[in-house]
Amino acid sequence: MEDLLLHEREKLVNTSEMLAKEMNSRFELEQNLMMQNEELQSTKVALSEVKYLLHPPIVQISLNPAQVIEDIDTSSVEAEFQVTEELTDEEILQLITDVKVRSQIDASGFLFDRAMELHESGWFRQAKPLFQECFLVRDKHIQRVTITGDTLFFLAKNLSNCGEWAAANERLSLYLRLRDR
């Protein structure tokens, strides 16, 4: 009888240990899932911010000097813009292009900052496409500025951390050529 109780007790202890391991495993899985959900949410927020930067809302600005002078004392300035001459199609196209380029450059700054956060946190694979997109925008619009070279350098560093040595060496060589100009 005592052997039977001892055997049953052993089975109970083994079952208890297995349940504890199972609970620990489930807890770790839940933690990983929560971290992935948080990362997904922050990525969604980042994407919405990038979309906002690429397509900001149109704000109507107007300027009426007499009204501005009256409103100076109240610290409330309303502007009313009146076009005195028609813009040509080429001028309108140039204005639209300038706004789009500025928006893309601003978005590239956001992409770079987000990529650096991911890179510094060890999320190299997630940072890679952000560095790449940031470099493409900056290389297209502001080739000879230091921040374009910095982006290329950090892209090379990130590729190296991802184990993509050939691509990293290629970007680093390009960075050195840009730096020496």
State pLDDT tens for residues 28-81: 877 877 888 777 777 777 666 666 666 555 544 444 444 444 444 444 444 444
**Torsion sign (Cα): 104, 93, 56, 85:** positive
**Taking Cα atoms as reference points, which of 145, 104, 112, 150 lies closest to residue 129?**
112
Per-residue confidence (pLDDT) for residue 106, from 0 to 100: 85
147-170 pLDDT per residue, tens: 888 888 999 999 999 999 999 999
Is the confidence at residue 96, as pLDDT, over 90?
no
Per-residue confidence (pLDDT) for residue 53, from 0 to 100: 61
CA distance 133 to 151: 10
CA distance 130 to 126: 8
Task: Say if residues 142 and 105 touch (Cβ distance below 8 Å).
Answer: yes
CA distance 79 to 69: 11
